[in-house]
A and B are shown apart, each in its own frame.
Chain A
Amino acid sequence: MKNPSAFTGYEMLAIQMLFSGAAAGFIYPSFLIRSTEGAYWIPIAVWTAGALLSSWLYSRMLARLEGRKLVSAIRSSVGLVWTSVLFLPVILFLIGALIVMLRAYSEIITMTMLPTTPISFLNGMLLSSAALALAGIMPIIRAARVFFLMASLFTLALLIIGFSDVNWTLGTPWFRTNGDFLLDNRFYAGSFLWMGFAITSLIGPYTMQSARGAWRSYALALICALPMIAGYVYLPVLTFGRDLSQRLTFPFVTKMDTIYHYWIIFDNLTAIFVSVTMLYVLLIMALKLHALGDTVKTLMPKAKNGFIYLGLFIVVYAAATFLPSWRELEHVIILTVGIRLYIMFIFPLLGMAALIVAQRRGGKGRES
């Protein structure tokens, strides 16, 4: 409790699992299903490896922080201007990710549960996330633990129930792939699912040990989340077959729609799925907002905290509200692929370089 913003292993696990839950449930499956004709687990596995590599790079960078925060450490080593240049894509990415997550979730609500409620009102749920983000990282972590407990139980139950009406022969081909996904931009568009570690890296001070521990819990979280991600992708495919799944905007939602059991109290599991996803989404939006707010705060130390979050809220809310349609949203996701790849692989290398340069300089300075 003394070190207010270092994650413990369990908290890291909870947050990363929540991140997977928030990102994998509704946008990701349709991207992945449309990206390849071959086996689906292969692109998932490729990205898992990519995520592990990216997070490993990040953890190497974080190990050099020596108890400082990432943004302030880089700022003190290369100066404000270069830090701003370095972090501009990060800020853009976070804002983009927030817009996409908020709008996509509002869309899912409009399509399933509240067809006539205006998107502008639904987007207002960002308010609660913004308030939580403003309250600091500890409340976010505490809320994450509660949400993780509840949401993971519900998600597990939904996934298990999702195995009804599954026809395993529809999942074929199981092992064949021709690598077509590597040429499909939707494969790269799905990268947002694998960036959980990049976001937590921006929050909180890290030391050598905590960076290593964080990476380890991230890897564990990834392994735990894989069945969930696979379930979100495969269950619709095993029920509807590939051809219909490719045409669906939210395959898993439609899958939930089809489930009817005499013994399930609720008739409409979609409602439960969407509700649980709300827990994931609200918390992850708060986390992203906090990461964003923290970064902006370090770059603009004079700005007031409240105003930063208010500004961010307005920007995200307005952008999410004025996006005209779901297709535009998909375009945004595909257009921002470059930024995401930069953040996943190039940014940690640059950051590391900046920190090493600073160390050298600092070392020399001390010697002379």
Chain B
Amino acid sequence: MSDILASFYRLSENPDTLSLFDQLSEAFADSADYTTALIGKTDATEYHLCFIKSLCSSQKLDYLLGTNIEGDMSAQLERYYGTDLVEGNSKSCEQAICNGYAVICKRTSSTGLMLNISESRQRSIVSPITENVLQGPMNAFNESLDVNTALIRQQIRSSKLKLWETFIGTESITRVAVFSYSGAIDPDLLSKLKERLKKVQTAGVQDSGQLLRLLTTKNWMNLFPVSVSTERPDRVSADLLAGKAIIMVDGTPFALIVPTVYTDFWHSPEDKYINPYVTYFLLTLRFLAMFINLFLPAMYVALTSVNIDVNRLEISLAAAASREGVPYPVYVETLLMLIVIDFITEAGLRLPKSISSTVTMVGGVVLGQAIIQANIVSNLLVIIVAATAITNFIVIDYQMGLVQRILKYFMVMGATIAGVLGIVFCFACLIFYLSCLESFGAPYLTSLWSKKRRS
């Protein structure tokens, strides 16, 4: 403790420039929560404590400010607990204050001592919100990188778990961490990833998704998410062991898993916790849902307006009966209905939970019934659109689900022009597009086959 005091008295003074205290006061001039406190007075000078009230722990502060100003400073400082004091110049002191440190400086000194009395405000660890867990680890990341790091470390208790940190954002100075498991990861990938992270130029990042957009060039090409974002530590640790890198951004609970290939979006971490046959069944179900979601509206258009002879006469007649009196061409009513159902989905998502159920009720039941009775769309179409909406929710990854929602319009376009063949053509184009994509060096369409062979 005497060291602290000693360094305290040794704070350098540079009479030529503005003192640290004045510089700080100027920098934080219009910040209401910037506080300075006089904590000691000697003959020669005054000692000031500068900090931002909202970032500091009041308990820790209490020790520093508890007694009267005239009191013995050494006694007060002894009660400070925390990391070592570091001396810093004005720039680092300013940054430190933004990080929740307190700076002690002499009235005239050009440097100050930084005391860590920060307290980060965060949620407690709760279960995942965007990924429902039925069976499996129930905890989820929160907004604090340190907590998240701890959660990952608790899953993998090995020295091979590596953590590399950098700061991104010229203004926000956000901590970004890259986790990797040194036994499994491709070092080439890791170095490339670090390189790319260093190159990122931006004012600030708020979420990992935003960081991903900054990391990938040619953004307009990337319709598909090139990385899974997850808030589940178990998924992260499983992927770490599988040789992937994890990017985490301070301030967001979502971790990015890179590289990610297309099939990864269809696996839930729970798949590993249950009976493999059930897993295969679920996987089949998901892919089936994907195809239905992609093709069903388009098939409706194709089969009721272009390739009538593909379906049975009975179905054609049923479709004709249900469309009787509808004044619009099939593709118009389909597009209309698809847009309406997307409105309903979006409204249900954005609203508070208590209202959203009402909205879906009104949208789904009332609107659906009314729109049929008004002869604007056929009732067969309502079934199809409902099935499409339901299958969309089976998609595990939220971002992939969003992409799927767009893709079905693409398919409907194809079906409008050339029927079934148009759909196949659009699908082929989609595959061609996917096969051109790469996610951090890994081809997007790498199938399970090659992964097995590589290992």
Contact = CB atoms under 8 A, between A and B. Distances in A.
> Are chains A and B touching directly in their complex (CB below 8 angstroms)?
yes
Interface of A: 10, 109, 113-114, 117, 122, 125, 128, 131-132, 135, 138-140, 142-143, 145-147, 266-268, 271, 274-275, 278-279, 282-283, 286
Given A271-B307, A279-B424, A282-B428, A139 B449 contact: no
13 contacts: A10-B449, A125-B425, A132-B435, A135-B436, A143-B432, A143-B445, A146-B445, A267-B309, A268-B307, A271-B309, A271-B310, A271-B420, A283-B428
Nearest to B302: A271
B27 to A, nearest CB: 51
Contacts of A135: 432, 435-436
Contact of A267 (B310, B425, B449): B310
Contacts of B363: none
Nearest to B443: A142
Nearest to A129: B432
Interface string B433-450: 011100000010111010
Interface string B400-441: 000000000000000000111100110011011011100000
Contact of A274 (B309, B312, B421, B435): B421
Contacts of B158: none
B419 A128 contact: no
Contacts of B419: 113-114
A278 B431 CA distance: 13
A266 B313 CA distance: 10
A125 B313 CA distance: 30
Contacts of A268: 307, 309-310
Contacts of B436: 132, 135, 139
Contacts of A266: 310-311
A142 B313 CA distance: 39
Contact of B432 (A113, A128, A271): A128
Nearest to B418: A114
Interface residues of B, number: 25
Interface residues of B: mostly helix, strand, loop or mixed?
Answer: helix
Nearest to A136: B436
A136 B312 CA distance: 42
Interface string B111-142: 00000000000000000000000000000000
Nearest to A131: B432
Interface string B132-172: 00000000000000000000000000000000000000000
A309 B420 CA distance: 28
A138 B443 contact: yes
Of all A-B residue pairs in the complex, the 6 with the closest CB atoms, nearest first, are A142-B435, A143-B435, A139-B435, A275-B424, A142-B445, A132-B432
A131 B418 CA distance: 20
Nearest to A275: B424
A236 B418 CA distance: 28
Nearest to B442: A1
A147 B309 contact: no
B429 A128 contact: yes
Most chain B C-beta atoms within 10 Å of own C-beta, residue among A271, A274, A278: A271
A298 to B, nearest CB: 23
